[in-house]
Structure 1
Amino acid sequence: MDADGSPQEITTLVGREVYSNNGVFVGEVEDVRLALDAETVTGLALTELNGELFSGRIEPGKGVMVPYRWVRAVGDVILVNDVVERLKDDEQEEAIA
């Protein structure tokens, strides 16, 4: 939905940058996963991933699928919950232990 409540074309999501709600770049939307029967978006396929967040977890050149329920806001960029940043925090904790 647009700021005025009108629906947007799904294709407008493709190419948008995705950031965590803490302002950390996550990746760029390459594709959208749909539930056709419910006519809803269920996930965002991201590429051009933040190397710091996904280093050692995702092979270079690969992408990730982010559940759409993590999306907090859609505007010029897409904001998602900080769950993605926890990947980095988990990695740091393992290094300390």
Structure 2
Amino acid sequence: MPKSYYVYIMTNRSKTLYTGVTNDLMRRTAEHKQKATPEFAQRYNIDRLAFFEEAGNVRDAIAREKQIKGWTRAKKIALIESINPEWKDLSDDWFEQ
């Protein structure tokens, strides 16, 4: 079975953006929510999944992550709002409350 990779954008209540790549989106999202993530994500309480897309291989995922990270904030916001105009946490129903 081929492995999937994901490029994702997490955010917080203030809409600070964090872009990353992972091979396990549910696990990585849980790590953000539990504050078991790198310094930036902990410091800014990055805990909401605003956007994600799947890539077929790790090289494509990393290239896409770098592309998005190079964009302006306005372009990143437009990407998020193209699939998530209300900025809902896309992982809301993944975990028990």
- TM-score class normalised by the smaller sequence: under 0.3
Query: Normalised by the size of structure 1, how large is the TM-score?
Result: 0.24
Task: Tell me: higher relative CO, structure 1 or 2? Use CA pairs within 8 A at least 6 residues apart.
Answer: 2
Structure showing the higher helix proportion among its residues: 2
Greater strand share, 1 or 2?
A: 1
Larger Rg: 1
